[in-house]
Structures are given as C-alpha cells and as structure tokens.
Amino acid sequence: MVTNVLIPIEDLLFEDEIKEFLVQLNTLLFRLKILHVLDKNEAVMSWSSSEYITEGEALVRTFGEHLKDYFPGIQVETAVRDGVVKEVIANEAGAFSADLILMGTHGRKGIGNFLLGSTAKEVITLAPCSVVILRSKKSHSFDKTQKVAGANQSTGN
Amino acid sequence: MKVLVAIDEDEFVMPIVDAVARLFGGPGKTVKLLNVIDTSTFLNDLHDQSGPGKTRKLLETQLKKAAFMLKQTRINLLCEDDSFEVEESVLVGTPHRVILDCAEEWNADVIVIGAHSHGDNTRLRVSSVSTAVLKLADRPVTVVSLPKSAESKGSTLVQQQTSLPSFAT
C-alpha cells in the first residue's frame, strides 16, 4: 500500500524528526509531497515576491533531495504555494489525497514553547486526514539553556 | 515502535482503529490502548450527601465500561492487523496529565489522539484534552480526525436532506 504523506515545511528544522518518523511507519512505499506556503500576511516589504518564491523553491528542493538521499527510490514531489497557510495546506492535502499530514510545530507565537504553534492547531481543525505534530528536539534543548541563562541573570541581579 | 492510543468514547473506536492500522501497521509494533477515567469531575460528588459510596459506584461502572471498550478495540485492531502486540490500560486521573505521564513512563514513540467536532458543522473542534496533549507533549502526536459526535449527527443529516433538493435543481 502506498501512503501519501504531505509535509508542509517552513525551514529545515524538523528534518531529523521527519526522517525518524517516516522510518517508523509501516511502509516504505511513500509518496511524499513537500509544501512550502508563502504567507501573504507576513510578507516583508523589502523583498519582492519573486525572491520569496525562489527562496521557497530552493527550500523544498533541498529538503526533497535530503529525503531522496535518505529513502532511495522514493517518489518526492515539491510545491510552493501562496495564500492563507491553513487553507492551502488543507486544500493541498485533499488534492494530493493525503493519508497523513506531517508537520513540526515551533510554538513561537505567544508564550514560546508552552503553546502549540498557531498554524499547527489551525491545520488540525481543517485537515481532511490525520495530522502528526512533531516537536523539535533541538528547540527543546535550546529553550532549556535559555531558561538557565535567564535564571543566572536574575540571580546575578 | 511503541504507539500509545488514547480513546475516550466507544463511537470513535473504529476511525481510530482504521487510522492506527493504516499508519502504524506491520510487524514489530506495540500498541497500548489507554482510556482515562476523568476523576476531576468526580470531586463534586464528595460533597454530596450520598458521598463517597456513590462516587465509588460511578467509578466502578466507568471502569467496567472502559475495560469492555478497550477489549472491543483490541479485537477490532487485531482484525485489521494481527501482527500488532496490544496492551490495554485503564487509568484514573486528569486525562491529559495521565496520557502524557503514561507516554513518558512507557516510552511511547508516538501518541495517537482523536479530534472531533462538537456541534459546529464546518470546523473540526479539538477537545480540551487533545489540545492539552498537543501543547505539552514532548514527542510526536498523531491527531486522527473523527466523525462528528452523536448529537451533531442528527443536525448534519437534516442539513443533508434540506440541501439535497437545492443541489438537484
């Protein structure tokens, strides 16, 4: 059985977690689609949209190549879309007839690590299929060191 | 691979079983079926005249119900894929805390939870337990989208009936 997995990415932060998770799935007959969504709400004025698109295409290509190296013979598609992130991801999952959406959560907005990323939560509410939310191990350890640094500062004062 | 599956209501057994079998099937997989009896809502009963006795009775019925539901789930899961190694576990406490503690203790590779809509027809609402698990988990969490719960089923049926003629014209 072929499992269609849609992987929306924003950066390469979750590469290791995504590989690790895919290895554990029951099949190695994946069809992967790597998607990068350009959020119109967050457009930086100094960047032209074409720069954004080139950057996004480079990102999905790099990620796709990493996955192809890791799982030889696997079918990887890439796409860069623009629009409202949650809607684009949900629509793409429908069009790709995805069995699974695999995404990481930064949880950056709000109180950092404590909150679930807002995009991740919105995707869950709209998704037509199961969603796997991955936590970054790197950001976890980073947050811990941050907290320690903060504690030292406060004791120093 | 160790898959921790949290199940709260028996009507969601089949969608969750389907998703687990489809995503995590195959040899060498251990599944732990977990049902948590929410005792945070039992606290009120202690102030009741009939008091702890009533609470104990309620707890006993819920434990029996949960054990039956998990047995049913286990059978369904093994029907889908008999290579699973299945454990059942009924625990008592505050659901999200118990799920997370159990995942850590058992060293689960992934937690599977359901998200279902409560009434609102267009959006899938994630329950407070699922949200808390998603927020606080330190490992991958799979959210299985479930059909609408029983109360809202009626309203969607009505809606379908009313929308059918307009669709035909």
**A46-60 tens-digit pLDDT:** 566 777 888 889 999
pLDDT at A153: 44
Instruction: Give the DSSP letter of residue B124.
Output: P
Spatial separation of the C-alpha atoms in residues A74 and A97, rounded to whole Å: 17
Contact (Cβ atoms closer than 8 angstroms) between residue B4 and residue B33:
no
Subunit contact B126:A114, Cβ cutoff 8 A: no
pLDDT at B135: 83
The domain total for chain B is 1
pLDDT at A14: 86
Listed as ranges, residues in chain B with pLDDT below 70 are: 10, 42-52, 116-126, 147-169
Subunit contact B145:A127, Cβ cutoff 8 A: yes
Contact (Cβ atoms closer than 8 angstroms) between residue B96 and residue B112:
no
Which residues lie below 8 Å from residue A5, measured CB to CB, with a gap of 6+? A22, A30, A31, A32, A33, A98, A99, A100, A101, A102
CATH of A3-156, one of 3.40.50.300, 3.40.50.1820, 1.10.10.10, 3.40.50.620: 3.40.50.620
CA of A145, closest CA in chain B: separation in Å? 16
Spatial separation of the C-alpha atoms in residues A43 and A26, rounded to whole Å: 39
- What does the pLDDT look like over A83-94, one tens digit per residue? 888 889 999 999
Domain range summary for chain A, segments of one domain joined by + = 3-156
What single-letter amino acid sits at A87?
E
**How many Å separate Cα B144 from the centre of its chain?**
10
pLDDT at A121: 79
Contact (Cβ atoms closer than 8 angstroms) between residue B30 and residue B2:
yes
Residue of A124, A139, A142, A144 for testing the chain B interface, max B β-carbons within 10 Å = A124
Q: Which residue has the higher pLDDT, B96 or A157?
A: B96
For tokens 């059909």, name the residue: B147
Q: How far is CA A84 from CA A47, A69, A90, A123, in A?
A: 19, 31, 10, 11
Please give the residue range of the domain that contains residue B111.
Answer: 2-168
Angle A107-B127-B131 (CA atoms, 0-180°, nearest 5)?
20
Alpha-helical runs (H) found in chain B? 13-24, 43-46, 51-80, 95-106, 128-136, 150-168
ipTM exceeding 0.85, yes/no? no
Average pLDDT, chain A: 77
Subunit contact A132:B134, Cβ cutoff 8 A: no
- Pairing mode of beta strands B2-6, B110-115: parallel
pLDDT at B38: 85
Spatial separation of the C-alpha atoms in residues B148 and A135, rounded to whole Å: 28
Would the pLDDT of A76 be above 60?
A: yes
Q: Which residue has the higher pLDDT, A120 or B48?
A: A120
pLDDT at B60: 87
Q: Which residues face B52 on adjacent strands? A: none
Residue A112's Cβ-side half-sphere holds a number of Cα atoms within 13 Å equal to: 8
Contact (Cβ atoms closer than 8 angstroms) between residue A35 and residue A96:
no
**The domain that contains B19 carries what CATH number?**
3.40.50.620
Write out the H or E segment, with its range, that includes residue A79. Answer: strand A75-83
Would the pLDDT of A154 be above 50?
A: no
Contact residues of B toward A, CB < 8 A: 1, 19, 22-26, 29, 109-110, 115, 123-126, 131, 134-135, 137-145
Spatial separation of the C-alpha atoms in residues B92 and A143, rounded to whole Å: 32
- What does the pLDDT look like over A6-52, one tens digit per residue? 999 988 888 888 988 888 876 667 889 999 988 766 655 556 677 78
- Pairing mode of beta strands A100-105, A75-83: unpaired
3-state secondary structure of A120: helix
